[in-house]
């Protein structure tokens, strides 16, 4: 073994390291105790600054020490000249830089840096930006640095276009970066806002016609820039279709208009002396000044949501004082004022009519396009083409499939119904972990389509049997429906929202897996309920039916509940009004 370099053995090295660590720990604990003692005594001096610096440089996550440090600095600020304060804080920044090298993701260090930068008498923002750039070049997803950088940009007023170029650069070097894409989405509307004049004839109503359109376009980007963005993001998802950051940005680009809050429907029933009001979004009407004027006279009424579960609801109900509108020979004019939004809606109840309503005729545009809405169909068309092109190359790509589905919805929900369904089938196969999500989404789209068909046919019958529905939604749109058929689906419950079907007379929901009837709550006109072959198992599940005064027919065949002893008599006792009971 001669001639070799002699090395310490592993055990020796370990031992040395252990001793070293022990020594360090001793010093650390001693300084910590010294610092706490000083703080207890309220000492705010340079020595304390030094001690905390020692500790923080080895452990920058010790938040208490940063707090103490700030106390000291604030105190020193009051007793020193401005130049000295500047120097003091500059030294602090330098120290912080060394801390960030130890741990570039330390909450304490970044927060303290923000605090110091804001207090610096003569801040050097260019230097701070440089620091952020260096940090982000090492880890472009360090959100601490992103946060700090946003603060620096705000404080120093960096021009927006410069920031957009910054995101260009970061996306160019690695486009799997949510922070960059998101930052872009906040900059674009500032830099390239949508032109103020009506962009296209089809949307003129939203700006000129008296009833405000259900769509608003805030945060929109001008079309020229949008086209550039489409190109950019397509480059990303064609390069790597499995990277979701680009797809999310794409969804944002394709539109995110929100429906404006407004009264979408007023319904009045003479017999029940009841008024129901539907809104475009869930609201809390009991607190937001909803006022009913009947024949010029403001009425003192109590508004309630359709189900006690909801403080916010798209449908609100009130009962009129008995006898107010019950005489069929009278004509009445109602106005519902919504003072919070300075809007109102009228409804006339003519002589001889037992009910009346006033509503917008719903079209697909207004109802369901809010999630993807771009001005021009042509743009959507060409985006759909691109995605189809990608799908040809990547038939299994879930992001592509889902985006295609959304584009088809935005373009022509009924026309693309069959393709949409088959894409959903593929989605459930390629992404089986989320098959329930796709099932729900598909149910939602099927319901939307059925609502559209119903609107076009101007009927009050809603039939959605055998569509693999896993959930119910958009029930506020069904306020006027009298007959509903939900048979042969995969429903587990009739949710509380079901109580929005204020006009419902006949419910068919055979052959589902329903075990819960929360939604059958105070439905004033409900007469027939058919729930054959479901999973209702307890008598108490049927308790709520007692709130439906007109219920006469109930079919419970094929439910576990029918196995209960004495069920017949129990039910007769529970629901005396039901004359036609099948079990």
| Contacts to other proteins by CB under 8 A | 1-8, 13, 172-175, 234-236, 238-241, 386, 389-390, 393-394
Strands of the sheet containing 343-349, edge to edge, are 297-299, 290-294, 332-338, 343-349
Nearest distance from C-beta of residue 7 to other proteins, angstroms: 5
Q: What's the rounded Cα separation, in Å, for the pair 269 and 353?
A: 9
Please list, in sequence order, all residues whose beta carbon lies within 8 angstroms of the beta carbon of residue 539, skipping any fewer than 6 positions away.
Answer: 561, 564, 567, 570, 571, 574
The neighbour count for residue 238, using CB atoms within 10 Å, is 15
Nearer to other proteins, 240 or 466 (CB): 240
Q: What's the rounded Cα separation, in Å, for the pair 140 and 123?
A: 25
Q: What's the rounded Cα separation, in Å, for the pair 132 and 145?
A: 6
Nearer to other proteins, 50 or 165 (CB): 165
Nearest distance from C-beta of residue 110 to other proteins, angstroms: 27
Residue 471, CA distances (Å) to 195, 242, 492, 544, 545 in order:
40, 29, 8, 20, 21
Q: What's the rounded Cα separation, in Å, for the pair 340 and 281?
A: 14
- Provide the terminal-to-terminal Cα distance of the chain, rounded to the nearest Å: 96
Residues in the chain: 583
Nearer to other proteins, 44 or 387 (CB): 387
Encoded tokens for 448: 């939307």
Nearer to other proteins, 7 or 457 (CB): 7
Ranges of beta strands (E only) in 524-569 are 528-530, 553-555
Nearest distance from C-beta of residue 24 to other proteins, angstroms: 16
Q: What's the rounded Cα separation, in Å, for the pair 55 and 78?
A: 25
Residues 468 and 452 sit within 8 Å (Cβ to Cβ): no
Q: What's the rounded Cα separation, in Å, for the pair 513 and 533?
A: 8
Nearer to other proteins, 387 or 451 (CB): 387
Nearest distance from C-beta of residue 238 to other proteins, angstroms: 4
| Range 107-111 contact pairs with CB under 8 angstroms and sequence separation of 24 or more | 107/61, 107/63, 107/144, 108/56, 108/60, 108/61, 108/62, 108/63, 108/66, 109/60, 109/66, 110/144, 110/145, 110/147, 110/148, 111/66
Nearer to other proteins, 213 or 386 (CB): 386
Nearer to other proteins, 391 or 479 (CB): 391
Nearest distance from C-beta of residue 393 to other proteins, angstroms: 5
Nearest distance from C-beta of residue 175 to other proteins, angstroms: 6
Nearest distance from C-beta of residue 15 to other proteins, angstroms: 13
Nearest distance from C-beta of residue 23 to other proteins, angstroms: 16
Nearer to other proteins, 188 or 232 (CB): 232
Find how far residue 559's CA is from the centre of its chain. Answer: 37
Q: What's the rounded Cα separation, in Å, for the pair 49 and 72?
A: 7
Nearest distance from C-beta of residue 561 to other proteins, angstroms: 55
Nearer to other proteins, 12 or 577 (CB): 12
Residues 531 and 556 sit within 8 Å (Cβ to Cβ): yes
Q: Over the range 540-560, which residues count as b (16 or more CB within 10 Å of their CB) and which as e? A: ebbebbeebeebeebbbebbe
Q: Which of 481, 204, 463 is nearest to 359 (CA)?
A: 481
Nearest distance from C-beta of residue 447 to other proteins, angstroms: 35
Nearer to other proteins, 11 or 40 (CB): 11
Q: Which of 173, 193, 195, 170 is nearest to 183 (CA)?
A: 170
Q: What's the rounded Cα separation, in Å, for the pair 126 and 128?
A: 5
Nearest distance from C-beta of residue 389 to other proteins, angstroms: 6
Nearest distance from C-beta of residue 268 to other proteins, angstroms: 56
Nearer to other proteins, 173 or 195 (CB): 173
Nearer to other proteins, 232 or 442 (CB): 232
Encoded tokens for 524: 């004033």
Nearest distance from C-beta of residue 120 to other proteins, angstroms: 35
DSSP 260: P
Nearer to other proteins, 8 or 87 (CB): 8
CA angle 297, 303, 305 (to 5 degrees): 150
- The three-class DSSP label of residue 551 is coil
Nearer to other proteins, 6 or 154 (CB): 6
Nearest distance from C-beta of residue 394 to other proteins, angstroms: 7
Encoded tokens for 203: 């949307």
């Amino acid at each position: 073994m001669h001639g070799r370099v002699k090395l310490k053995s592993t055990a020796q090295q370990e031992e040395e390291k252990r001793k070293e660590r022990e020594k360090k720990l001793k010093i650390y604990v001693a300084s910590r105790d010294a610092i706490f003692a000083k703080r207890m005594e309220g000492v705010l001096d340079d020595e304390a600054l030094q001690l905390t610096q020692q500790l923080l440089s080895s452990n920058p996550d010790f938040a208490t020490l940063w707090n103490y440090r700030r106390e000291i600095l604030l105190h020193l600020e009051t007793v020193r000249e401005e130049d000295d304060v500047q120097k003091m804080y500059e030294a602090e920044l330098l120290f912080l830089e060394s801390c960030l090298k130890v741990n570039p993701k330390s909450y304490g260090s970044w927060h303290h840096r923000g605090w110091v930068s804001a207090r610096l008498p003569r801040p050097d923002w260019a230097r701070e930006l440089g620091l952020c750039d260096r940090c982000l070049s090492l880890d472009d997803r360090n959100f601490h640095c992103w946060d700090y950088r946003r603060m620096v940009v705000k404080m120093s007023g960096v021009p927006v276009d410069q920031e957009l170029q910054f995101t260009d650069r970061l996306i160019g070097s690695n486009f799997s970066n949510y922070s960059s894409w998101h930052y872009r989405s906040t900059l674009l509307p500032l830099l390239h806002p949508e032109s103020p004049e009506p962009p296209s004839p089809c949307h003129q109503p939203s700006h000129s016609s008296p009833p405000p359109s259900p769509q608003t376009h805030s945060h929109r980007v001008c079309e020229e820039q949008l086209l550039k963005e489409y190109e950019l993001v397509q480059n990303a998802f064609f390069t790597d279709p499995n990277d979701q950051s680009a797809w999310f940005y794409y969804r944002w680009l394709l539109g995110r208009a929100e429906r404006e809050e407004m009264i979408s429907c007023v319904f009045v029933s003479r017999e029940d002396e009841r008024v129901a009001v539907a809104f475009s979004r869930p609201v809390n009407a009991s607190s937001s000044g909803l006022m009913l004027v009947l024949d010029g006279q403001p009425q003192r009424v109590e508004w309630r949501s359709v189900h006690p579960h909801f403080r916010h609801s798209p449908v609100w109900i009130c009962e009129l004082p008995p006898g107010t509108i019950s005489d069929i020979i009278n004509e009445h004019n109602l106005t519902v004022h919504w003072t919070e939004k300075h809007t109102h809606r009228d409804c006339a109840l003519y002589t001889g009519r037992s009910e009346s309503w006033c509503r917008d005729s719903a079209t697909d545009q207004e109802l369901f396009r809010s999630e993807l809405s771009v001005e021009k169909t042509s743009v959507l068309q060409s985006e759909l083409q691109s995605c189809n092109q990608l799908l040809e190359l990547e038939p299994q790509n879930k992001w592509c499939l889902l985006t295609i589905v959304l584009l088809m919805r935005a373009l022509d929900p009924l026309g693309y119904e069959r393709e949409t369904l088959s894409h959903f089938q593929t989605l459930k196969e390629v992404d089986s972990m989320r098959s329930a999500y796709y099932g729900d989404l598909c149910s939602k789209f099927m319901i939307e389509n059925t609502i559209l068909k119903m609107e076009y046919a101007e009927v009050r019958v809603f039939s959605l049997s055998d569509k693999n529905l896993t959930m119910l939604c958009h029930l506020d749109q069904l306020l006027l429906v009298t007959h509903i058929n939900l048979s042969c689906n995969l429903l587990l419950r009739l949710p509380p929202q079901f109580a929005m079907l204020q006009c419902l007379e006949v419910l068919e929901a055979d052959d589902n897996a329903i075990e819960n009837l929360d939604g059958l709550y105070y439905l004033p006109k409900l007469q027939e309920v058919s729930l054959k072959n479901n999973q209702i198992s307890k008598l108490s599940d049927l308790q709520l039916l007692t709130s439906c005064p007109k219920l006469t027919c109930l079919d419970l065949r094929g439910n576990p509940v029918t196995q209960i002893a004495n069920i017949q008599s129990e039910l007769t006792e529970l629901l005396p009004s039901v004359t036609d009971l099948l079990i």
